[in-house]
Amino acid sequence: MFRTALRNVFAHKARLLMTAFAVMLGVTFITGSLVYGDSLNQATTAQATDGYERIAVNVAAEADPANGGRPGDLDARTATALAKLPGVAAVAGRVDGFAAVADRDGKPLGNGEDAQGGNFAPAADGKDPAYRFTEGSGPTGKDTIALDEATAAKGGYRVGDSVRVGTNKGASSYTLSGIFRTDGTKLPAGGSLTLFAGATAQKFFLEPGRYKNIELTATPGTDVTQLLSRVESVLPKGTSAVTGARLAQIKANLATSGTSTMSQILVGFAAVALFVATFLISNTFTMLVARRTRELALMRAVGATREQVRRILLTESLLVGASASVAGLAVGTGVAALLQTLFADTPAAPLVLTPATVIISMLVGTLLPMVAAWLPIRRAMAIPPVAALSAAEHTAPARPGSLRSGLSAALVLTGTAAVVYGALTTGKDARTVIGLGAALALTGTIGLIPLLSRPVVTLFRPLLARLAPVHGDLAVRNTVRDPRRTGATAAALAIALTLASGLSVLGASATQYLDRATTHALSADYVVKSAGGQRMNPTTAAPLKKLAGATYSPLNQSTGYRLGGSESVLTGVDPATIGKLLRYDVVEGSLDSLAKGQIAVADFKAEQAGWHVGQTLPLERQNDQRGSLTIGAIYQADEQSDLMPSVTAPDSLVARYDSTPSTAGILVATDGGRGRAARAGVTHALGDNPTLSVLDQADIRTQDSSGIGDQLNVFYALVSMALVIAALGIANTLAMSVLERRKELGTLRALGLDRAGVTRMIRLEALLLGALGATLGTVMGVFLGWALGRTLQANVAGYELVLPWGRLALTILIALAGSLLASLWPARRAARVDIPAATAAQ
């Protein structure tokens, strides 16, 4: 039986080629996902733990809630006491924070979010074990810095050059004293690291004479556990100690938690690609078995049992799957390497191909074809040998009253009802309900496509009658000749279009919401933000006083309040200017009340807490400060807005309770409005600080929507794999159809249909298959996009459904173009059918 199966595979290798290619693509996807995820986890773990082997014990300052979140007492005296403990070879006090390096044009170098600054902490020999200098030496003066090797190369800096560096305390120019290499814990991938002298770093990132943590190095032969006990016995209140090994484990767990999410997303899309491939495989074996009905019946007639024939066919599918899986493993490993290149900001490491990945990929790739081929084989085995020998082909067209159709209709109705229920109730489990309902509805639609194919395809008949009356009519008849085959082919494309259309609807709706929220609320010309997403110091805005004609107000946020029994964040603004910089839609009271020391509250906050204008609320803060505030205005605001505060207060009132609030942004308006000169003036007034970004409305719109756009582009790239497999399914279906219809094609040629006409007919069949899948997929995608969008409306005020007609049309055009490309080879074969051979009696 094995020899027979192997001989059959080679005999039908051309017909099985695209099936094997589809399996290979699916295995490639899942192998690439697993290999990339494992490699990324290993690289991230190595980076997160690199350097901790030299640390015996790490002492850190903890935030003290009772002291306004101020870190515990970790200063030079603590470091001196730790250095005197038995078994301690050296101590190194560390501080770190945000520090951006400017290039020679004044723009930040590297990834702003990972622009780090730290202190050079030399031991007795003048060296810091955390850094290995390749040029120069560590900074020792207040006007010197050192840069990591990658940042120095990117900026073209050499030792002795002047480098401008900015922190949350301002920007200055420094002399570059050295260039170094360091471990991954100090320098994130794609980031920059600037070293300052110890006192300078403390002034920028903490307080003079204080440390964020202290690293202890042990003398040879010291028991780390005993050393930890000795360290804990002398630690002051508000500090804690942990071994370097334990800290490395904690850092590794934190680092890999984010990478696992990306791996799960990739594996999820791999599962979709494999699911789509199932239709192609099942369709191929349906046609192969139908073509070989006489052959199989003859085997039964000469003595082969039904079970033996079934085993031969399943062995064929196993051989196809196994060979395709081996190829998919190899290609998938290459795809993982390509992903590492594309995501350059992730840590690089050798590719990791684990036994689990090999086993999973091989099992999926070999079992999937067997499962997909089971139903066609079972259907063929039900045909008696005598009947099979007497007929060329036995088809089982879908009937409206069949059990399959009834069950599919029930699934569609149940799934649609679940989706609508989840969309209208918008409860905490709404998305789960919608997901389950979508799975049921999609499964039912796939089962109903054979019945839907005839009415949907008929809709396109008038258009085809105008374009090509004869060829179009033939294409329509051929497309609906075998509804099950047509349905299985179109189902793969429908799944891909459902995902693409749903993502387009959600992305367009979210982008328009963000755009409207930004343009409506912002009246200022510019918003100044930290380039790394950090909070700024309230003194950052002070230099704008010298900018002629400028109107500005910082957004000074202060936390830790209970206002009228409700957890609240107060945002301090300049009462005299805020009305010109932010558009407050006041629904009750007046914004002028800010100048009287009162507060203004967002409508959603007032509604949640039951507040009204004129109400005086008791105020409590975590540091036991108490007071009372009066509501002077209520205004409309979006709970998700980054600009409109939930509680707006005069900055003098916030300063009464919090001397060091964090500035989320600075709103600036200039006399001449937006322009290159105005932006340059604001930038220069703020000290040409590379840590600060001066953004106009267009910049903010781009910044807010870029994350959505980047994610959508990744998802579209992943969905494209399913589109490729669906196109292969169309090519395979048409190719097998051409083989089955050789006599018919020969007859049409004999009756006068030329090669161009045959080619046009096959291409129109492909377009009809593409149109059927695209129509059903787009309708389902828009429906699911609406349902999921409804779950966002409960938490995101102003979110509305937006149908991106252009993107939806582009997706449909891509599907149709893919269908047309898939028809090139089958159409070429159909046009070259030999007329005498095809029309000869069988």
pLDDT digits (tens, 9 = 90+) for 292-326: 666 767 777 777 777 877 787 788 788 888 888 99
Pick the more confident residue, 654 or 751: 654
| 599-602 and 647-650 beta bridge pairing | antiparallel
Q: State the Cα–Cα distance between residues 664 and 555, nearest whole angstrom.
A: 6
Neighbours of 255 (CB within 10 A): 22
Confidence of residue 835 (pLDDT cuts 50, 70, 90): confident
Q: State both tokens at 339.
A: 């992903």
DSSP assignment of 58-115: EEEEPEEGGGTTEE---BHHHHHHHHTSTTEEEEEEE-EEEEEEB-TTSPBPS-GGGE
Predicted confidence at residue 349, as pLDDT, reads: 67
- Asked if pLDDT for residue 239 goes beyond 80, the answer is yes
Q: State the Cα–Cα distance between residues 814 and 170, nearest whole angstrom.
A: 51
**Average per-residue pLDDT for the chain:** 82
Identity at 783, one-letter amino acid code:
F
Confidence of residue 262 (pLDDT cuts 50, 70, 90): low
- Asked if pLDDT for residue 586 goes beyond 80, the answer is yes
Confidence of residue 7 (pLDDT cuts 50, 70, 90): low
- Asked if pLDDT for residue 68 goes beyond 60, the answer is no
- Asked if pLDDT for residue 530 goes beyond 70, the answer is yes
Predicted confidence at residue 840, as pLDDT, reads: 67
Confidence of residue 380 (pLDDT cuts 50, 70, 90): low
The answer to whether 684 and 544 have CB atoms below 8 angstroms apart is no
What confidence tens digit (pLDDT) does each residue in 464-508 have?
A: 878 788 888 888 888 888 787 787 788 878 888 888 898 888 888
Q: State the Cα–Cα distance between residues 839 and 747, nearest whole angstrom.
A: 6
Domain segments of the chain: what residues?
1-54+244-394, 55-243, 453-521+698-842, 535-690
Helices (H), 572-675: 578-581, 603-609, 651-657
Average pLDDT over residues 758-783: 90
Predicted confidence at residue 587, as pLDDT, reads: 93
Predicted confidence at residue 10, as pLDDT, reads: 60
Helices (H), 576-634: 578-581, 603-609
> What does the CA dihedral 119, 122, 126, 131 come to, rounded to 10 degrees?
-70
Which residues sit opposite 117 in a β-bridge? 97, 194
Among 72, 495, 467, residue whose Cα is nearest residue 275? 495
Predicted confidence at residue 510, as pLDDT, reads: 80
| Residue carrying structure tokens 């399959």 | 404
The answer to whether 557 and 644 have CB atoms below 8 angstroms apart is no
| 566-573 and 647-650 beta bridge pairing | parallel
> What does the CA dihedral 276, 278, 280, 281 come to, rounded to 10 degrees?
160
Q: State both tokens at 695.
A: 């953004």
| Residue carrying structure tokens 């600075």 | 666
- For residue 514, the number of C-alpha atoms closer than 13 Å in the C-beta half-sphere is 20
- Asked if pLDDT for residue 143 goes beyond 60, the answer is yes
Among 479, 488, 17, 452, residue whose Cα is nearest residue 282? 488
Confidence of residue 392 (pLDDT cuts 50, 70, 90): very low
| 162-167 and 57-61 beta bridge pairing | unpaired
Predicted confidence at residue 616, as pLDDT, reads: 94
Phi, psi of 552 (to 5 degrees): -145, 160
Helices (H), 637-754: 651-657, 676-685, 697-740, 742-750
Phi, psi of 432 (to 5 degrees): -65, -45
Predicted confidence at residue 588, as pLDDT, reads: 93
The answer to whether 316 and 5 have CB atoms below 8 angstroms apart is yes
Predicted confidence at residue 400, as pLDDT, reads: 47
Among 37, 43, 164, 16, residue whose Cα is nearest residue 101? 164
| 144-148 and 170-182 beta bridge pairing | parallel
Instruction: Supply the DSSP symbol for 752.
Output: T
| Helix 805-822 vs helix 824-831: crossing angle, to nearest 10 | 40
Q: State both tokens at 148.
A: 């990591």
Neighbours of 334 (CB within 10 A): 14
What confidence tens digit (pLDDT) does each residue in 81-90 have?
A: 999 999 999 9
Identity at 658, one-letter amino acid code:
D
The answer to whether 418 and 434 have CB atoms below 8 angstroms apart is yes
What confidence tens digit (pLDDT) does each residue in 126-138 have?
A: 889 889 999 999 9
Neighbours of 830 (CB within 10 A): 26
Predicted confidence at residue 475, as pLDDT, reads: 84
- Asked if pLDDT for residue 826 goes beyond 80, the answer is yes
Q: State the Cα–Cα distance between residues 408 and 442, nearest whole angstrom.
A: 9
What confidence tens digit (pLDDT) does each residue in 683-738 have?
A: 889 888 888 888 888 888 777 666 666 667 767 776 776 787 778 778 877 877 77
Identity at 547, one-letter amino acid code:
L
What is the Cα Rg of the chain in Å? Answer: 34
Among 454, 292, 445, residue whose Cα is nearest residue 376? 292
pTM for this one? 0.68
Neighbours of 302 (CB within 10 A): 8
What confidence tens digit (pLDDT) does each residue in 149-199 have?
A: 989 999 999 999 999 998 888 889 999 999 998 866 667 666 789 999 999
Q: State both tokens at 37.
A: 């995820």
Predicted confidence at residue 687, as pLDDT, reads: 86
Average pLDDT over residues 37-55: 78
Average pLDDT over residues 817-841: 81
**Residue % of the chain over a pLDDT of 90:** 24
First to last CA, the chain: 28
- Asked if pLDDT for residue 8 goes beyond 70, the answer is no
Average pLDDT over residues 790-795: 71
Predicted confidence at residue 397, as pLDDT, reads: 45
| 144-148 and 131-136 beta bridge pairing | unpaired
- Asked if pLDDT for residue 379 goes beyond 80, the answer is no
Average pLDDT over residues 378-397: 58
| Helix 306-342 vs helix 13-49: crossing angle, to nearest 10 | 40
Average pLDDT over residues 396-422: 77
Maximum mean pLDDT: which of 12-26, 105-119, 120-134, 246-260: 120-134
Among 571, 563, 664, 538, residue whose Cα is nearest residue 622? 563
Predicted confidence at residue 389, as pLDDT, reads: 57
Predicted confidence at residue 707, as pLDDT, reads: 63
Q: State the Cα–Cα distance between residues 675 and 40, nearest whole angstrom.
A: 43
Q: How far is CA 429 from CA 41, 502, 507, 776, 786, in A?
A: 31, 20, 22, 27, 17
Among 495, 396, 373, residue whose Cα is nearest residue 446? 495
Q: How far is CA 741 from CA 485, 690, 736, 762, in A?
A: 14, 70, 9, 12
**Residue % of the chain over a pLDDT of 70:** 84
Neighbours of 316 (CB within 10 A): 24
Phi/psi class of residue 50: alpha, beta or left (left: φ > 0; alpha: ψ in -120 to 50)?
A: beta
Q: State the Cα–Cα distance between residues 65 and 69, nearest whole angstrom.
A: 5
| Residue carrying structure tokens 């964090």 | 662
Predicted confidence at residue 189, as pLDDT, reads: 63
Pick the more confident residue, 255 or 451: 451
- Asked if pLDDT for residue 36 goes beyond 50, the answer is yes
Q: State the Cα–Cα distance between residues 480 and 459, nearest whole angstrom.
A: 12
Phi, psi of 717 (to 5 degrees): -60, -40
Q: State the Cα–Cα distance between residues 281 and 784, nearest whole angstrom.
A: 27
